[in-house]
Amino acid sequence: MIPSSEQIETIVAKKITPTLEEKKQIEDIIKSLKKQVMSEIKKTNIPITIELVGSIAKDTFIRISVDIDLFLLFPPTVPRETLEKEGLFIGRAILEEQEECFAEHPYVRGMFKGYKTELVPCYKIETASQKLSAVDRTPLHTQYIKAHLKESQKKDVRLFKQFLKGIGCYGAEAEIEGFSGYLCEIMILKYGTFQQLIEQVQQWKYGMKLAIEEGVYPDFNNPLSFIDPVDSERNVASAVSNEKFNLLIQACQEYKKNPRLTFFFPNELQPWSVQEIKKEIRTKDYIGVRFPKPEIIPENLYPQIRKAVRVIRELCEQYGFTVVNATFAVEKKNVYIILQPKARIISKTVLHTGPPVALKKNADEFLKKWLDNPRTIKKPYEEDKRLYVEIEREFTDIRQLLEDQVRRLSLGKNIDLDILKDLTVVDIDDLLIEDLRLFWTSYLDQRMSWER
């Protein structure tokens, strides 16, 4: 007998809801963390208060994914430089395996007694209008959810978070471009239950606008906008990409039709062999650009890689190469930008369209440029009251274009620094490597995560 969505959700809820014992263990660790933080605060002689925020504070965390978020609340009179300096000092003194991250100002992320932990400095504010930096709102978010989310809805939040994890849409960070934990919580507040949310999301269209309360709000140019109930000028869903927006709609439609456990816990993708990958792509052509992976945090790395993909694709199309698909892969040492051109070699000449003859100034400039140009194959001529000229292409081979032009592009601040010196244009043989087997499998496997 096929289980119903209610039966599946009961199984999932049991797997992801922390036990009382687990909660008690985390509480004890947080007490220990707070004690150490307070000890470091005393050394600063600043009246800093501390506040637990995030999913642990709101009791919406998933037992297999526990992050401790502790905010250090500075008085608004403290200069920004002091906040940054002392905030980093406290984090460095306490956390292990630490790394310095950057929101609107730096903070420390690391491990505390086996748990991922962030110690984030911010200013203590009462309302969002008083904010001095974006992170100042976070304690207000925690307070809002604690005040409005019913005990029964915590299960629905956890179900929605696990559903998003299963389909690859959970997380507002640059690597994922999906739904933050806070966005999950306010979506459950909006729709009431997980089942009702699944029902409603199926009807979404690009440009969907949501708010907890009716009102006049700013317009945001995003696939989804959800007005922050603690700051009406902010779109909580600004990180959600078009791809993840559409993926959630599709997943909700499919789940409604055929609910199954794999929406929440998909089977792990098994990498294909290089031979299988070769067989699948034998009729297609690929070319890539490889460069060393910049040593920067993912929040800074992924926007730059996406920019590089866009800029390289635009370069190819500017020179007449049709790009069927452009994507990227990140492995330990290198970044690969992978293009699938419609054709690697294109015609030697191209018909270049000029302005209408009636636009005399533009027409004169066009004639001046192309009449005696060494690239002109067939002199400018008029047809249907418009000028045309047949010219020789600068590049007929996409490899030559990439080798000649890519290093001249602005791909991204950290990519441009020293990395472009080590940039290499690579053919398919250099892309069919062990480190990229999982990328190719994911790229070529047409099944959705829940279908595996």
The total number of residues shown for the chain amounts to 452
**Tens-digit pLDDT string for the chain (452 aa):** 778 999 999 999 999 999 999 999 999 999 999 999 999 999 999 999 999 999 999 999 999 889 999 999 999 999 999 999 999 999 999 999 998 887 677 899 999 999 999 999 999 999 988 988 889 999 999 999 999 999 999 999 999 999 999 999 999 999 999 999 999 999 999 999 999 999 999 999 999 999 999 888 999 999 999 999 999 999 999 999 999 999 999 999 999 999 999 999 999 999 999 999 999 988 789 999 999 999 888 888 999 999 999 999 999 999 999 999 999 999 999 999 999 999 999 999 999 999 999 999 999 999 999 998 999 999 999 999 999 999 999 999 999 999 999 999 999 888 887 677 789 999 999 999 999 999 999 999 989 999 98
Name the maximum alpha-carbon separation found in the chain. Answer: 83
Last residue in a domain, options 263, 285, 315: 263
What's the CATH code of the domain at 40? 3.30.460.10
Q: Residues 411, 424: one domain? A: yes
Is residue 176 assigned to a domain? Answer: yes
Is residue 382 assigned to a domain? Answer: yes
User: Model's pTM, two decimal places?
Assistant: 0.90
Tell me which residue range forms the domain holding 190. Answer: 153-263
Q: Residues 213, 141: one domain? A: no
Is residue 338 assigned to a domain? Answer: yes
**Structure confidence at residue 104 (pLDDT):** 72
Q: Residues 107, 29: one domain? A: yes
Last residue in a domain, options 148, 166, 190: 148
**Structure confidence at residue 181 (pLDDT):** 96
Q: Residues 161, 53: one domain? A: no
**Structure confidence at residue 129 (pLDDT):** 87
Q: Residues 334, 441: one domain? A: yes
Cα 331 from Cα 334, distance rounded (Å): 6
Number of structural domains, the chain? Answer: 4
Is residue 98 assigned to a domain? Answer: yes
Concatenating the DSSP letter of every residue in 49-116 gives EEEEEHHHHHT--BTTB-EEEEEEEE-TTS-HHHHHHHHHHHHHHH-EEEEEEESSSEEEEEEETTEE
Q: Residues 178, 44: one domain? A: no
CB atoms within 10 A of CB 374: 6
Q: Residues 224, 297: one domain? A: no
Q: Residues 407, 387: one domain? A: no
Q: Residues 309, 422: one domain? A: yes
Is residue 3 assigned to a domain? Answer: no
**Structure confidence at residue 3 (pLDDT):** 87
**Backbone φ and ψ of 234, nearest 5°:** -115, 140
Q: Residues 300, 403: one domain? A: yes
Query: What is the β-pairing status of strands 224-228 and 208-210?
Result: parallel
Cα 432 from Cα 444, distance rounded (Å): 13
